[in-house]
């Protein structure tokens, strides 16, 4: 199915009828007596791609899926990963197709299901950033902290619903398989690129860099815990060397070919995230509150200072919810038909995954603030666990928590790196009109991985900018989907849906501007240590 909007309509060349006997396109009931030849492939312009030579192919209505009959796809997803629900649909509707989608990591395999959607969205939606939530409560207090967390959780769940239902266009038969494609379709090519490009790249690249920083730092802590009192010496490796070791691991794992092939990785990563989040808050609550703990919100300085502190706290909460830039990509891995549209299993998977997210985030924020109050370190719950309980908690628990964080960091790199792999490989496909060779794909992913390693070493303080990052990412999560719904679905003017989406979209953009300003203000006021090329 074509995922590029605005492509020329699919027509069959008169002198080149379809080969309806193709193994990937079963013979139609409308038998033709004309000679049968392969599908004609031509090149036409696509205003939404920015390339004058996108491949367009004519396909029969019975073959409404990514074509593989005359194009050698490199779909090498292991058979044991193919879900039971990937059998061919019997009632398919005519959908525009782009043969290059069979060559790209996001859409190479269309055999996903609700389970895969749950694995991917859970792995992308929960991570180490959730451990900073109690820090926001130190500014907001009990009441406003819980209210803010609940409202933002509900808000982002609503925008997830919008994105899932915007993935397919029943009017023109187009699937928007990438967030950038939907942005261009809604806002136009130029404005869509301006609004969404930086935020999406920032989220994907920033998440991969943060995964290396967190995974490598936690690896060092893990070996320090395991080797304490033993003969091994974890100090033999410097922090930079730990970064390199972890990067080699993520580059090796990134050689899995496409998004569906990492479903097992996402499952393990999601289970690890649920495990360490639950372990940390459970241990913290079980050890009771710290002596002299206080729950009075921190309100030092002037009214301006307090105002920016509140906004920065809201940015931390917004930063805890991520993954919207991957929802369309995850849904693109599913088969679809008029009878069985992809939004049904996708939304079922999201409901399961975000129910689990809620069972982690709310106890983590409330339990963490109850246990540590104003004494919680700025870096969050993981640091608090080692600072306050390293002596009264079994080493096995500390080691188990650390290894779960490492596993989740490895998995998060894969899910957030896949859109970057897709984008880089699409450059090759557009230019050479063929899929990437295995060695070329391996080089692309290795280069991306070691670029993230370089950035991790260069800016190791990235994790201290949670409020600022939350402000930058907020429109992708809370604002753009509302405007996209208005532009594409065109609800009746002044209807409840029209008012709701306009209100949420405008509020999201205003809030994003305030959060970015507050993040910059807090960084300047508190003085983040810009230890360039000096990871600690």
CA distance 21 to 71: 15
Can you read off the two tokens belonging to residue 27? 């013979």
Q: Provide CATH code, domain 110-142+160-299+324-463.
A: 1.10.4160.10
CA 531 to chain centre: 28
Burial of 377 (0-12, 13-18, 19+ CB in 10 A): middle
pLDDT at 518: 81
pLDDT at 530: 59
472-509 as b/e: b if 16+ CB within 10 A: bbbbbbbbbbbbbbbbbbeeeeeeeebeebbebbeebb
CA distance 353 to 123: 9
CA distance 405 to 384: 15
CA distance 402 to 276: 8
Whether residue 473 contacts residue 199, with contact meaning beta carbons closer than 8 Å, is answered with yes
pLDDT at 464: 62
pLDDT at 535: 66
pLDDT at 385: 92
Kindly state the DSSP code that residue 534 receives in the 8-state scheme: -
Per domain, the residue ranges of the chain are 110-142+160-299+324-463
Whether residue 313 contacts residue 521, with contact meaning beta carbons closer than 8 Å, is answered with no
Burial of 290 (0-12, 13-18, 19+ CB in 10 A): middle
CA distance 294 to 375: 8
Determine phi and psi for 44, rounding to 5 degrees. Answer: -140, 160
Whether residue 260 contacts residue 73, with contact meaning beta carbons closer than 8 Å, is answered with no
CA distance 24 to 33: 20
pLDDT at 422: 92
pLDDT at 311: 86
How big is the CA angle at 286 (ends 282 and 287), to the nearest 5 degrees? 120
Give Dmax over CA atoms of the chain in angstroms. 88
pLDDT one digit per residue (tens) for the chain, 536 residues: 434 444 334 334 444 444 434 434 444 444 444 444 433 333 333 333 333 333 333 333 333 333 333 334 444 444 444 443 343 333 334 345 566 788 999 988 889 999 999 999 999 988 888 899 999 999 999 999 999 999 999 999 999 999 999 999 877 778 999 999 999 999 999 999 998 888 888 888 888 998 999 999 999 889 888 887 666 765 678 888 999 999 999 999 999 999 999 999 999 999 999 999 999 999 999 998 988 888 887 666 678 888 888 888 888 898 888 888 899 999 999 998 888 899 999 999 999 999 999 999 999 999 999 999 999 998 889 999 999 998 888 999 999 999 999 999 999 999 999 999 999 999 899 888 888 888 999 999 999 999 999 988 887 766 666 667 777 778 999 999 999 999 999 999 999 999 999 999 999 999 998 888 887 877 777 655 556 656 66
Is the pTM higher than 0.85? The answer reads no
pLDDT at 142: 92
Q: What sign has the CA pseudo-torsion 467, 473, 474, 477?
A: negative
């Amino acid at each position: 199915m074509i995922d590029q909007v605005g492509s020329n309509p699919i027509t069959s060349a008169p002198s080149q009828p379809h080969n309806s006997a193709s193994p990937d396109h079963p013979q139609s009931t409308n038998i033709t007596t004309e000679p049968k030849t392969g599908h004609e492939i031509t090149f036409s312009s696509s205003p939404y791609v920015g390339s004058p030579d996108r491949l367009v192919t004519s396909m029969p209505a019975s073959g409404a899926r990514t074509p593989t009959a005359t194009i050698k796809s490199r779909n090498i997803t292991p058979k044991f990963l193919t879900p039971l629900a990937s059998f061919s649909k019997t009632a398919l509707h005519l959908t525009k197709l782009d043969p290059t989608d069979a060559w790209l990591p996001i859409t190479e395999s269309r055999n996903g299901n609700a389970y895969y959607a749950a694995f991917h969205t859970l792995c992308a939606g929960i991570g180490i950033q959730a451990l900073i939530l109690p820090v926001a409560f130190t500014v907001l207090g009990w009441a406003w902290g819980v209210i803010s967390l609940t409202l933002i959780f509900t808000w982002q769940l609503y925008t997830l619903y919008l994105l899932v239902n915007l993935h397919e266009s029943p009017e023109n038969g187009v699937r928007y398989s990438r967030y950038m494609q939907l942005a261009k379709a809604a806002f136009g090519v130029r404005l869509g690129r301006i609004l969404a490009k930086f935020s999406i790249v920032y989220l994907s690249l920033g998440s991969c860099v943060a995964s290396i920083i967190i995974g490598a730092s936690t690896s060092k802590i893990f070996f320090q815990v395991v080797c304490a009192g033993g003969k091994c010496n974890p100090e033999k490796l410097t922090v930079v060397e730990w970064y390199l070791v972890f990067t080699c691991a993520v580059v090796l794992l990134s050689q899995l070919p496409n998004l569906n092939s990492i479903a097992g990785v996402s499952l393990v990563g999601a289970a690890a995230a649920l495990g360490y989040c639950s372990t940390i808050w459970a241990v913290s609550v079980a050890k009771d509150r710290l002596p002299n703990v206080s729950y009075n919100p921190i309100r030092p300085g002037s009214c301006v200072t307090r105002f920016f502190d509140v906004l920065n706290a809201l940015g931390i909460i917004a930063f805890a919810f991520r993954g919207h830039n991957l929802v369309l990509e995850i849904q693109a891995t599913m088969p679809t038909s008029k009878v069985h549209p992809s939004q049904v299993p996708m939304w079922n998977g999201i409901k399961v995954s975000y129910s689990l997210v809620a069972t982690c985030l709310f106890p983590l924020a409330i339990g963490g603030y109850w246990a540590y109050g104003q004494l919680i370190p700025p870096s969050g719950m993981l640091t608090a666990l080692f600072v306050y309980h390293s002596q009264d908690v079994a080493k096995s628990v500390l080691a188990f928590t650390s290894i779960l964080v490492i596993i989740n960091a490895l998995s998060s790199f894969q899910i957030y790196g896949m859109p970057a792999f897709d984008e880089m490989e699409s450059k090759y496909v557009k230019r050479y009109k063929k899929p990437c060779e295995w060695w070329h794909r391996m080089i692309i992913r290795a280069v991306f991985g070691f670029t993230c390693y370089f950035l991790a070493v260069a800016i190791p303080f990235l994790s201290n900018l949670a409020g600022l990052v939350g402000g930058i990412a907020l429109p992708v999560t809370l604002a753009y989907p509302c405007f996209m719904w208005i532009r594409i679905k065109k609800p009746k003017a002044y209807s409840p849906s029209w008012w709701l989406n306009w209100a949420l979209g405008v509020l999201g953009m205003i809030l994003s501007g305030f959060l970015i300003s507050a993040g910059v203000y807090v960084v300047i006021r508190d003085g983040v240590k810009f230890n360039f090329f000096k990871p600690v």
